[in-house]
Amino acid sequence: MKLWKKILIGLVAGILIGLLVGFDYSSYLATMEDGKFLKGFLHYKKDIVGFLESLGKVFIDLLKMLVGIIIFSSIVSGICHIHDPKKLGRIGLRTFSFYFFTTLIAISFGIFLTYLFKPGANLDLAWAGASLNANKELSVLDFIFSIVPSNPIASFATGNVLQIIVFGILFALAIIVTGEKAKPVLNFIESIAEIMYNLTHFIMKLAPYGVFALMAAAVASIGIKVILPLFWVLLCNYLACFLQIFVVFCLSLKFLARLQIGPFFKGMKDAIVVAFTTNSSSATLPVSIECATDHLGVSKDIAGFVLSLGSTVNMNGAAVGQAVAAIFIAQAYNIEITAFKIIILFFTSLVSAIGAAGIPGTGLVMLSVVLNAMGLPLEGIALVAGIDRLREMLSSVTNILGDAVAAVYVAKKEKQIDEKQYHAVTWLE
């Protein structure tokens, strides 16, 4: 059975068990002559909820265990891979600029829609760490200075994600400058990245049980009102992705690339289907390159460079998901999101989208990075884990279309696109 199906089963089972455990049985006790079993159950009710919370905490702790190393290794290997002195320059600058600004817009859509619909309002979840984080508001200068690590080892030990990110970027740049002598270190870090991806895959197999335990504990504590907001969370994600696709991407094609919009979607239809069904930007990359070169007339050099780069660093759909989930969880736990936390959200969503592997399931791991940096409870991951697969369907499509629009735009600017081939594409091709 597919993992996403198991997670959905865990979600539903957790809801049912949570309702069963959290139900008020006092009226039934009054009418029962012998309620020994029910009394015994009620006696251990708190222990059952506590066990479920502890079981869910184990899953959260496993995610925490991954964060520091996977972010560091992904950022270092990703930055070093995209360094190509022959191709960076004018093409690289245009590509990076397009990716950067469209990702910021995607995050803005996610934040705006989540504030508009307020899916987490009135959930009133309790968080044990609230008092510990009550007085941690920083000024702008404090925030800037706080992300510079004085001791990288301490940053890993304390789980300071922002400092790990800064150290990873600087470390990658140092590897690039060092050149050939740094190759063994880069190979070692790439091996660590692969190991961490495999470890992530293993831990995600435990997700159904973690989601079951956390959801059961949450529903037992607060009841069925936790379910309806998930629909609104998914709606916020979908609307933000649609805005990104049909507003940002279409306007980019029309006014930046100065090309017709219809042929683009016709030419990318195969990649859209693959991305939607596999939930993987990386798995869709070969199909995206084929669509861009054979259908849209983009040169192989531009398509190979821009799309390969995009599959690593341009995750518009993933960035939307991080932003929506973070604001939703803050609303659910009644945690105020200040202007500084919004800045942190933009920064971490952008970097986590860059650091995320384009494979299903990594969204939850990257979400833990965002929540950690913003000082939000990681327990909130359980609230959105059950709908993560549904979110990833459209997110993956948004990711690959953003890469393709960038390839078309750069190719047009560099005069490396066959416009006759682009406009000749049909739905039947």
Position 344 scores a pLDDT of 87
Provide the pLDDT for residue 200: 73
Alpha carbon distance 181, 295 (integer Å): 42
- pLDDT score, position 134: 45
Contacts 24+ apart (CB under 8 A), 257-260: 257/405, 257/408, 257/409, 257/412, 257/413, 258/412, 259/408, 259/412, 259/419, 259/422, 259/423, 260/423
Q: According to the model, what pLDDT value does residue 397 have? A: 92
> Would you say 320 and 393 are in contact if contact means Cβ atoms under 8 Å apart?
no
Rounded to 5 degrees, φ, ψ at 344 are: -60, -40
Identify the residue with better confidence: 346 or 23: 346
pLDDT digits 0-9 by tens, 203-247: 878 878 887 887 788 777 666 666 788 889 999 999 999 999 999
pTM (2 decimals)? 0.70
C-alpha neighbours within 13 Å on the C-beta side of residue 162: 18
pLDDT bin (cut points 50, 70, 90) of residue 184 is very high
In what helix (H) or strand (E) does residue 164 lie, and over which residues does it extend? helix 161-178
| pLDDT, position 135 | 44
| CA 216 centroid distance within chain | 24
Q: Which residue has the tokens 């251990």?
A: 44
Distance of CA 64 to the CA centre of its chain: 15
Compute the average pLDDT of residues 48-65: 81
> Per mean pLDDT, which range of 54-63, 248-257, 284-293 is the poorest?
54-63
Mean pLDDT over each residue of the chain, to the nearest integer = 81
In this structure, of 28-37, 104-113, 171-180, the range with the lowest mean pLDDT score is 28-37
Is 327 within 8 Å of 114 (Cβ atoms)? yes
**Nearest C-alpha neighbor of 384 from the set 337, 341, 326:** 326
The Cα–Cα gap between 316 and 321 comes to 9
Q: Are 67 and 200 in contact (CB under 8 A)?
A: no
Q: Is the pLDDT of residue 395 over 70?
A: yes
CA angle 164-190-4, nearest 5°?
80
What are the pLDDT digits (tens) for 243-277? 999 999 999 999 999 999 999 999 998 888 878 86
Q: What percent of the chain has pLDDT over 70?
A: 80
**Which residues contact residue 101 at a Cβ distance below 8 angstroms, ignoring those fewer than 6 apart?**
none
d(CA 250, CA 262): 9
Q: What is 52-82 written as a DSSP string? A: HHHHHHHHHHHHHHHHHHHHHHHHHHHHHHH
Residue 150 pLDDT > 50: yes
Whether the Cβ atoms of residue 349 and residue 374 lie closer than 8 Å to each other: no
> How sure is the predictor about 132, in pLDDT bands with cuts at 50, 70 and 90?
very low
Residues 6+ apart with CB under 8 A from 102: 244, 248, 249, 252, 314, 316, 402, 406
170 vs 249, residue with greater confidence: 249
Q: Give percent of the chain with pLDDT exceeding 90.
A: 25
User: Is there a contact between 397 and 318 (Cβ–Cβ < 8 Å)?
Assistant: no
Question: How buried is residue 228: exposed, middle or buried, by Cβ count under 10 Å (0-12/13-18/19+)?
Answer: exposed
User: Mean per-residue pLDDT for 411-428?
Assistant: 82
Structure tokens at 135: 């007085």
Handedness of CA 149, 153, 157, 159 (dihedral sign): positive
Confidence of residue 312 (pLDDT cuts 50, 70, 90): low
Q: Which amino acid is at 352?
A: S
- Which two tokens mark 100? 């950067």
Choose the CATH number for 3-424 among 1.10.540.10, 1.10.3860.10, 1.10.1060.10, 2.120.10.30.
Answer: 1.10.3860.10
Which pLDDT does position 246 carry in this prediction? 96
